[in-house]
Structure formats: C-alpha cells, structure tokens
Structure 1
Amino acid sequence: MNGMKSYHTAPRRWPVAVALMGAGLMLAGCQTSTGPAAQIASIDTAQGSAENIASLTAVIARSPSDPQAYNVRGSAFGKAGRYPEAIQDFDTAIRLDPNFYQAYANRALIWRFSGDNAKSLQDYNRALQLNSGYDAAYIGRGNLYRLAGRPQEAFADFEQAIKLDTTDPRAYHNRGLLYQAQGQHSFALEDFSTAISMAPNAAEPYNGRGVSYLALGDEDNAFDDFNTAIKLDEANAEGWANQALVYERRGDKARARRSYQQSLRLDPNYAPAMSGLERTKSG
C-alpha cells in the first residue's frame, strides 16, 4: 500500500511525548493499544462481567472438550483482569487443539499484560508458525516489539498485517505511532486517518492525528482532533493534556490550566500534564 515510504533508523528509546521543535513544550503522546481492555477487545467480543463468565462456565460444563469454549472464557477472564485464570483456559484450549493459533495469540497478549514478554513473543511466533496469514498475531507481536523498543521489527509486522488487508485499525494506528516518533508526520497522518475510518468512535487515533497535526503547525485541525478525542472518551487523560497544550499555545492559560487539572484528575502521574500545569499555574 505504501511502497514509496521508507522507514529510517529509529532512536533507541521511544518517547512518551513528542517534542515540538522551537516550541519549548511537550505534547502528550499517544499510548494507544497498550491497555488490557483495548487489546482484549480486539481479540474477542466476550465481556469480562461475572455474569458472562458464569454463562461461559456453564457452556464449558456442557462441552468440556470444546477448545473454543475455553478460548472465549479465557478472553473474558483477560478482560476482567483475571490473568492466571485466562492463562489456564488458553492452556486448556491449546492442549485440546495444539493447532489453535488464535488461542496462542490470545495467550501471548495475556503474557504481555503479565509482564512476561519472552513467553508472549514465543506464543506469537507459534501462532504465526501455525497460520502465517493471521493478521492479529502480526499486530500483537508488532505492538510487543514497539513497546520493547524494537521499532524496525514492529514496523515490519504492522506492514505485513496491512499487506494481508487487515480490517484491524490497530495496524494503521501503531504504524502511525512509529512514523510519528520518527518525525514522518505526513505518513503518520495518513495512517491515523485510516485507523479513524475503521474505528470512528475510538479516541486514540484522534489523539495521534492531533499530535502530528500540531507538529506540522496545523493547530486548528489538531485542536479539533483533541476535542473529538475528549468527546469520545472523557476519561482520556492524554486528550485533556493535548487540548490544554493548544490553549497554552494560544495564550489562554486559564483554560489550559483547567484542562491540565482534568488530565491529572484522571491520571495523577501523567508527566505532560504535570509539567503543563506547572507552566500555567500563574497568569
């Protein structure tokens, strides 16, 4: 799709905020696809409620040899943050069907959430050995590489998922983050826009696109995107901090301060909001 694009050697460490050259400010970065809820949602539609898990347990009681039943309940456990139980269910699914590549990819995600990146990588690799055309495994492994500071490998995996005509917006969004971190904002804008077209109700791609708009000096479009991100997800600390930065750049310190404060109410440890609030505490 993007054969003319080149991806150059990346810095060793990916920042959580993008420095705007000459602005002296820090822009809140996108952390999309890093949280358990967002990732589990992409692998299964099962909900993590106690009622739903109870229903899935009843299904397993009726069909104790059905690997798919364990895979679905494992995803529900993952959504509920019950990682040991999720791992146990994926283990059972794989034992019942050693070629169950979806269960390997799902278990890989839970291993990552549990902090075991080595086991996560092993499971993604196994899923792709079983099905080299499984786009979700490329996206999951790519995100694992991205978060581990291995951008070249991450980029290759997102590219492969896109070549497979994935309908998962994470492939474009995460590739956009890599372009963005390299300062290739025109390419990043294209990828974020594609992700938005696939998932128009997701806040994160709007935040990402706003970051690149602002880096390119397009303050109005950036502001629109940050406002849309907040409208879609009022609990998005990054969106509030990004909106605050635009207010700050426009000289409206009072509104900037309120938005930074809201960001910190949502995430008291969010560094861009803390530094922004410090800059705007007077005036």
Structure 2
Amino acid sequence: MKSIHILPLLLLLITGCQRHNMDLRDKTPEEKLNILDVKIRHDKKNARLYAQRAEVFLELDRVNDAINDLGRATSLDNDNPDYLMRLGDAYFRNGNVDRSYESLQRALELKPDDKEIILKLGEIAFYSRDYDRALDHLTQVTAKDANNRTALFMKSFIYKEKGDTASAVTLLDKICSLHPDYAPAFEELGMLYAARRSPLAAEYYATALRLDPDNDNVRYGLAMYHQSLGRYEQAEAIYKEIIEHNENAPDAWHNRGYIQLFHYGDYELAIDYFTHAIACDTAYVEAFVNRAVAYELSGDNARAREDYQHALQLRPDFQPAIDGASRLH
C-alpha cells in the first residue's frame, strides 16, 4: 500500500499587499507596469513606486525583477519594515531561504514585537525543516497570542515529526475547539488516530470531509484506515469514490489493485487496476512490481519479468523488484 499526505498550506507567504494607487486598481498587470515605469522614470527616488512595481512583478511571477525592485525600495527607505518583509517573501518564493531569513530579521530589528514577522520567520524555518528554530519563533508567537491558529498548527506538525504525538494531539484538539471550521486540524487528528488504529480516526476524517467535501486526501486517509483494519469493502468503496471525482488518481487505483491481489486473489482485476495506476503515473514503481506479482501468480512469467525489469530501471535498489527479477531469472 502507498500512503500519501500533503501538508495543507498554512500562512501564504506570497500574498500580495496590493498597495496600488487607485488609478491602477482596474488595470491589467501589463498596464500597471507601463504606468509605474513612467512614474519611476519621473521619480527615481520614490521607494513606494518600486514596491508597487514589485507587487506587479510578483503577480506576473517575475520574482527576480520583484527582488530587484524591493531591494531598491529598501535602499531608498531602509527604515520601512514592510518592504523588508516583502523582500523576505520574494526571496523565499525564489528558494533563497538564507536571504529571506536575513531580510525578515532586519524587519524584526525595526519592529521587535511584530507578531507577523516572527510568524514568518517561524514559517521559513518550518518549511526548511529546521524544527528547533521554528519552534523557538512559533513559541514567541503563541506567547503573544495563545490562540494563533497558524502557529499552533505548525507546532503540532513539528511535534508529530519529532515523535511527540501526545503534544501534537493536545495542540490539534485545542485548534479544533477554537476553530471548529478548520478542516486541516481534523484531518491531522484523523491521521494520528488512524496510526493508533483508533475508531476516533473515522470520526475526525468524517468531520474533515464535512468541512471540506472536495478533499480527496481525506478520503484517501479514511480508505487507508479501513484497509489497515481489514475493512476491504469500505476501503474499496472510498477508493472508487475518489476515482469518480478524478480518474487520474494513481494511488486509489493502486490500492484497489492491492486489495484484489492480496486479499481477494482476483489477479485479472488486480492487473487492470495496476495498469490504470501506471497510466496515471508511468514512474509508479510499486504498481509495476505489484502488477508483476499478479502476472507471476497468474502464470504469465514473461510479462511479470518485463514489469520487474521496468521497475528496476526506475529504481535499481528496490528490493521487491530485485527479488522478483531473481525468481524469474
């Protein structure tokens, strides 16, 4: 079985301030650039104009140009923490974590108690998997705002990654009490209780789905929970529902094949489902290997050998493929 989890996006670092003049509000990005270019030519020392143009560049995904303009803005007005914050955002969007952190630290020096800046510093450390530093920043945020949802959620995830699931559950319970419409917290609790094989998992997943009916990641987690407990009919029904929402769902197809192969012994149907998974993801090593097993058990060694070899081309160190290829050598 293949398990997936996508961490939900927390505080969107790259949302634009959109501090545009009224005469830019209804313009296209290209029109905004033309207007701002003219204004800057006539007023080259105006930091605000560079910051405005940077926002347009970010809107157009021209991040390097935005960084250049925000650099000019901060040079012209080096006491403006907002420009430094946006520069940190742009660097982070460009993958330059060190420069992002440096810009935000400079902003924090200008506004030492600013919760938003500290939270962004925590976020950068969080996404960089520097969990100790992230916890330090996030704890500063929760010391100022004990109910800050974003900080609490990131802290819960860090505790989970560090193996302290009890602390993670405590924080997630708090988030659910404070923010009963926040689906990601219920989804996380579903996963944590599923790992414990607790019936609470189904309840939390159900709440997450009620709050976010289109979230197939939650459905997948619930299906995996049922499958882990041997409730194959429930799991199969949910995987089928996922595929009805989106036929390009390789993990749902794969797990349907896994159930047919290893629990019902229907090799033909398993092969069909694994083939669908491979059509969705042509680098799906587990699907190639499990289809090879199905071919092997059904007596089609030639096709089984072909699939094992293909899996080894994708991942030469994948032991199930090595073992299968050795059996049929």
TM-score (norm 1): 0.70
Residue type of the partner of 1:43?
L
Contact 1:244 1:259 in 2 (8 A): no
Residue type of the partner of 1:255?
D
Secondary structure at the counterpart of residue 6 of structure 2: coil
Contact 1:261 1:277 in 2 (8 A): no
Residue type of the partner of 2:197?
G
Aligned counterparts of 1:240 and 1:67: Cα–Cα separation in 2:
50
Q: Per-residue CA shift, 1:243-278, capped at 9, x if unaligned?
A: 43244344222123324535763565xxx6576455
CA positional deviation for 1:101: 2.5
**Correspondence for 1:104:** 118
**Correspondence for 2:6:** 32
Aligned counterparts of 1:232 and 1:45: Cα–Cα separation in 2:
30
Cα 1:254/1:101, change in 2 over 3 Å? same
The correspondence for 2:216, drawn from 180, 203, 211, is: 203
Cα 1:183/1:98, change in 2 over 3 Å? same
Cα 1:232/1:67, change in 2 over 3 Å? farther
Gaps of 5+ in 1: 1-26
Residue 226 of structure 2 corresponds to residue 213 of structure 1: yes
**Correspondence for 1:51:** 62
Spell out the pairing of 1:82-231 with structure 2 (5 A cutoff). Answer: 82-165=96-179, 167-184=181-198, 186-229=199-242
CA positional deviation for 1:152: 0.9
The correspondence for 2:272, drawn from 230, 255, 262, is: 255
* Aligned length, in residue pairs: 247
Contact 1:56 1:73 in 2 (8 A): yes
Cα 1:46/1:112, change in 2 over 3 Å? closer
Cα 1:55/1:127, change in 2 over 3 Å? same
Aligned counterparts of 2:236 and 2:251: Cα–Cα separation in 1:
13
Moved more, 222-231 or 93-102: 222-231
Moved more, 172-181 or 101-110: 101-110
Superposition misfits of 4+ residues, deviation over 6 angstroms: 231-236
The correspondence for 1:279, drawn from 293, 296, 310, is: 293
Contact 2:63 2:94 in 1 (8 A): no
Aligned counterparts of 2:180 and 2:81: Cα–Cα separation in 1:
25
Aligned counterparts of 2:227 and 2:204: Cα–Cα separation in 1:
16
Moved more, 169-178 or 215-224: 215-224
Cα 1:71/1:97, change in 2 over 3 Å? same
Moved more, 129-138 or 47-56: 47-56
Aligned counterparts of 1:273 and 1:74: Cα–Cα separation in 2:
42
Cα 1:128/1:206, change in 2 over 3 Å? same
Contact 2:260 2:270 in 1 (8 A): yes
Give RMSD over aligned pairs: 3.5
Question: Highest relative contact order (Cα 8 Å, sep 6+), 1 or 2?
Answer: 1
What fraction of aligned residue pairs are identical, expressed as a percent? 15
Secondary structure at the counterpart of residue 50 of structure 1: coil
Moved more, 97-106 or 232-241: 232-241
Cα 1:124/1:260, change in 2 over 3 Å? same
| Structure 1 or 2: more helix by fraction | 2
CA positional deviation for 1:68: 4.7
Aligned counterparts of 2:79 and 2:259: Cα–Cα separation in 1:
56
Cα 1:253/1:86, change in 2 over 3 Å? same
Cα 1:215/1:134, change in 2 over 3 Å? same
Aligned counterparts of 2:87 and 2:243: Cα–Cα separation in 1:
32
Cα 1:234/1:93, change in 2 over 3 Å? farther
TM-score (norm 2): 0.61
Cα 1:50/1:91, change in 2 over 3 Å? farther
Cα 1:262/1:79, change in 2 over 3 Å? farther
Aligned counterparts of 2:203 and 2:86: Cα–Cα separation in 1:
34
Gaps of 5+ in 2: 16-57, 299-329
Secondary structure at the counterpart of residue 265 of structure 1: coil
Residue type of the partner of 2:119?
A
Contact 2:122 2:133 in 1 (8 A): yes
Task: Work out which of the two has the higher radius of gyration on C-alpha atoms and give 1 or 2.
Answer: 2
Contact 1:73 1:86 in 2 (8 A): yes
